[in-house]
Amino acid sequence: MSLQCARARGLIDRRASVLTAGEQLWLEEHLESCAACTASAHTLDAVADTLRASTQILSADARERAMDRAFAEAAGHQTVRPPSSSVTTTQSRWLMSGAIATLAIAAAATIYVAARSGPSTGGAAIETTGAPAESAAQRLDAPALVAPPPRPTAQILAGSVDLDGAALPEGSRWPADAVVGGGAGARFASAHAEIACITPCKLSRDADGTTVTVAGGRAHFEVDPTKHARFRVKTGAFAVEVLGTVFDVDASTVRVEVGHVRVEPESGASADLLAGAEWSLEREAEVGQAASQTLAEARHALAIGDVPRARVLATRAKRAAATSNERAEADTLLAECDRAAGDDAAATRKYEAAARRYAGTPAGETALFAAGRAAADAGDRKRAHALLTEYLSKYPDGRYVDEARRRMNEGDPR
């Protein structure tokens, strides 16, 4: 089940209360395109409609028949789909429990209200057994469908776990802000996530359990998407931000099984990963090295007059750039390629875009001054004057101040 479907199930559960206009619109659009979620909505609607119709006193047998009839009618709308092999038992429990619990509680509450209600003055007779009416206490003592109990906020679920050499038994609390060691197969609960050690791990959590740090080893995370709550995993070199997904983390790698995560390295650009994707520090380092090498090759190609090759290499370097400095250099090289090709108007536009994108940086300063010169070479004196004036205003102590003033004083920005 996708995260969109998990969100839809949560909104379906809450339709009895109040949805915002945005939530209602999003749910309607999702139901138009998702048969599975539409079936779940039909199930809840059918049960609720059947039970709301039973507002008179019912005997125990009649109540059971009403329940059977409600679920039987709902089943006519339900399409049963085999579970995906990529979804674990834990994920299935999380994704289904919200709708089942809501349906069960609503059904039990409706029948109880029906049992408390008096007979309708104008309604048809309701079948009874002739037995004495049940007391309120007897009705409250009747078996009821209830939601499963909430999971502990932070707990040792299974396996071998120790804190400073002292064993922590299964079922004990996972202490906050303390590094615990878990053997392969050890499992933990933390806030709305479950964690399993794939290899021996060193783990710690914050006070509310929504941030877990992997200090060693590889761990598997399953984050409940129905909570719509933030969860964060940190290592010494990067962090992973999620709302609901299944993924593995070690000191240098993230692998996503279900959902969507964002990896935020200590240095370099963040990366969004979808199901099936993998991110590693080593690969990012290789990409960064490749970008710098490609930029050097692009500069060399431009210097020898091979503009087409320089343009291809600069574009490739921009896609592979791991830092803003590399992206800025690639953007500037692309503008220089236009200048070398004699298209000063296109070069002006690219220099201006780079000046806005990297404003306040050395690359932004250079790009703004170069935009003024390119505009002059394109014959647009008015634009050139405006760009050089902007340069002097933004960078009064800049590297090209004297040249910019000279060009403007001479009346020729070139």
Q: List average pLDDT for each run of 10 residues in the chain, which is 414 residues long.
A: 66 61 68 78 64 50 59 50 42 44 44 40 38 41 46 82 92 92 94 93 92 94 85 91 85 88 78 84 68 87 90 84 83 93 93 91 91 90 91 91 84 52
Structure tokens at 57: 């006193």
Supply the pTM of this predicted model: 0.41
Spatial distance between the Cα atoms of 368 and 356, rounded to a whole number of angstroms? 8
Angle between helices 344-357 and 362-377 (to 10 degrees): 160
Write the CB contacts of 290 (distance below 8 Å, at least 6 apart in sequence): 320
pLDDT in the model for residue 408: 81
The answer to whether 160 and 168 have CB atoms below 8 angstroms apart is no
Let me know if domain 287-409 sits in CATH 1.25.40.10: yes
Domain positions in the chain are 3-141, 154-276, 287-409
pLDDT in the model for residue 105: 41
Are β-strands 193-197 and 187-190 bridged in parallel, bridged antiparallel, or unpaired? antiparallel
Spatial distance between the Cα atoms of 93 and 224, rounded to a whole number of angstroms? 10
Spatial distance between the Cα atoms of 1 and 98, rounded to a whole number of angstroms? 14
Spatial distance between the Cα atoms of 362 and 332, rounded to a whole number of angstroms? 12
Give which of 123, 130, 134, 148 is closest to 55, Cα–Cα. 123
The answer to whether 225 and 95 have CB atoms below 8 angstroms apart is yes
What pairs with residue 214 in β-bridges?
203
Structure tokens at 47: 């049960």
| Integer-rounded Cα radius of gyration of the chain | 32
Q: Count Cα neighbours of 45 within 13 Å in the Cβ-side half-sphere.
A: 11
Write the CB contacts of 223 (distance below 8 Å, at least 6 apart in sequence): 192, 193, 231, 242, 243, 244, 245, 246, 259
Burial of 348 by CB count in 10 Å (0-12 exposed, 13-18 middle, 19+ buried)? buried
pLDDT in the model for residue 17: 52
Q: How is domain 154-276 classified at the CATH fold level?
A: Jelly Rolls (2.60.120)
Write the CB contacts of 363 (distance below 8 Å, at least 6 apart in sequence): 325, 328, 329, 332, 354
pLDDT in the model for residue 92: 45
pLDDT in the model for residue 348: 94
Spatial distance between the Cα atoms of 78 and 196, rounded to a whole number of angstroms? 34
pLDDT in the model for residue 232: 93
Spatial distance between the Cα atoms of 55 and 117, rounded to a whole number of angstroms? 6
The domains spanning 154-276 and 287-409 adopt the same CATH topology: no
